[in-house]
Amino acid sequence: MKYCFFLFCSIVFISCQKETSSPPVIPPVIPLAAETQLNIAYGSVANQNMDIYLPAGRSKTTTKVVILIHGGGWATGDKSDFNVYVDTFKARLPDYAIFNINYRLASLAGNFFPTQESDVKTAVNFILGKADEYNISQKFVLLGASGGGHLALLQGYKYPTPVKAKAIIDFFGPTDMVQLHDNPVDPTLVPLLEVLLGGTPASNPTQYEQSSPLKYVTAQSPPTIILQGGLDDLVPVSQSTSLDAKLQIMGVVHQYVFYPTEGHGWFGPNLTHSFNAIQAFLSANVN
């Protein structure tokens, strides 16, 4: 009897302890601070590097990615060409991580095409592989100008795996390399193309086809916004209108923004208009 009474008291005591014990203290989640990493290698050779701008409060579910690809005719240029616009991108796309990449440049000594295409692909795969570490999503956007626009289009149209671009932003990028060679606005571009692509369209047709984004547009291609100046003295307007027409035929979501009085790049009110158009396009198509 005493044993039963003792057991009963023990049970009551334990029950009371459970009822009065405090819940475990869960430490607050501290949002990640903004972070900048410069000249991060994504490969083992010179020029395979990037600048990384990670936003505050980023997460693997909400933070999208924009990859900047500089121009320069595949033979010149540097990621620093975009430095003046990084703060603008940060302000306009606060939920994006920014990756500003370099790639190997072509010369008479080497780095012929598809070196540049391969480097962009390697950079994209590097960023994807670091997504958990960087606390970013797999929602990638590609943005390029001139030769960088060409590379952005190639990456977005040719490589839907291992990650498919959610959108492409093309500032006056070449789209049809045969037409660029045969109908140049600037004749000095012809020898550059012949060095870059290892000959003429007649002597090396495969290389010209494989380097033409227009050839890879399908009904599944990512949404694309094209920005083109009417007085461009390097990339003919026809390069952008041909892409616009092909995207239209394939039923791909796209927008063609044309500036009749602008050349190969622009500033001032029209650049502000371009940023507004890009911001609206991404808001509508990248979720």
How far apart, in Å, are the Cα atoms of 135 and each of 56, 62, 92, 161, 239? 11, 9, 20, 20, 37
Predicted pLDDT of residue 30? 83
CA dist., res. 210 & res. 6, Å (int): 86
Largest separation between any pair of C-alpha atoms in the chain: 109
How far apart, in Å, are the Cα atoms of 8 and each of 1, 16, 20? 11, 12, 19
CA dist., res. 52 & res. 254, Å (int): 28
CATH architecture of 32-285: 3-Layer(aba) Sandwich (3.40)
What is the tens place of the pLDDT at every residue in 129-180? Answer: 999 999 999 999 999 999 999 999 999 999 999 999 999 999 999 999 999 9
Q: Are 119 and 104 in contact (CB under 8 A)?
A: yes
Predicted pLDDT of residue 21? 61
pTM equals 0.90
CA dist., res. 236 & res. 115, Å (int): 24
CA dist., res. 110 & res. 195, Å (int): 9
Predicted pLDDT of residue 31? 86
CA dist., res. 232 & res. 124, Å (int): 29
Q: Where are the domains of the chain?
A: 32-285
Q: Which residue numbers in the chain have pLDDT < 70?
A: 1-22, 25, 27
